[in-house]
Amino acid sequence: MEQKRLMKLRKNMAKHRPSFRRVESWRYVRVKDPWRKARGIDSRTRIKSKSGVKSPSVGYRGPKKVRGLHPSGYEEVRVVSIEDLKNLNNKMHALKISSKLGAKKRMLLIDYAQNRGFKILNIGISQRELEDLESMLESSFDDVDDLEEELKDD
């Protein structure tokens, strides 16, 4: 309950957070946009004058308990193999499957993770490929243990 409240608060804070732009990046083409600390001796931004550009400070950060979480409320974990799923909790962690995996291993890993109840943030394959996966798995694998052995062999 508290986490949902904090997630809403984080979202609301992000709405009101200014976009921190580098001083005079809007004025000169040679000055790029990403934030850099103002260091000029007469800089209104460095002095934190009302007329200066807003600069990042501690007060703009989100709540500590939900900092770094995915908007769904889960902690993101990058996964390459089934071995990575062993110590994860499906109530706390959401999976991002590595983009370096090929379609075959990706589909096997997706099926294994979905059987364990994990939320997958980037399935990365189309609905047709998922249907092909289901038909392929029904024909070639009887249960999840065979699936684990197949992946360990690779």
Residue-wise pLDDT for 89-136, tens only, equals 999 999 999 989 888 888 889 889 999 999 999 886 666 777 776 777
Can you give the pLDDT at residue 50?
92
Q: Is a pLDDT exceeding 70 seen at residue 141?
A: no
% of the chain surpassing 70 pLDDT: 84
Mean pLDDT of the chain: 87
What band does 60 get if pLDDT is binned at 50, 70 and 90? very high
27-65 CB burial, b ≥16 within 10 A, e <16: eeeeeeeeeeebeeeebebeeeeeeebebeeeeeebeee
Contacts of 128 (CB under 8 A, 6+ apart): none
Question: How many helices and strands, by DSSP H and E, does the chain display?
Answer: 5, 3
Can you give the pLDDT at residue 137?
66
User: Which residue, among 93, 89, 96, has the nearest Cα to 110 in the 3D structure?
Assistant: 96
Can you give the pLDDT at residue 1?
78
User: Which residue, among 77, 74, 79, has the nearest Cα to 112 in the 3D structure?
Assistant: 79
Q: Is a pLDDT exceeding 70 seen at residue 36?
A: yes
Quote the longest CA-to-CA distance of the chain. 73
Of 6-15, 28-37, 63-72, 103-112, least confident by mean pLDDT is: 103-112
Query: Hey, where are the domains in the chain?
Result: 2-66, 75-153
From first CA to last CA, the distance across the chain in angstroms is 43
Which position has the higher pLDDT, 111 or 150? 111
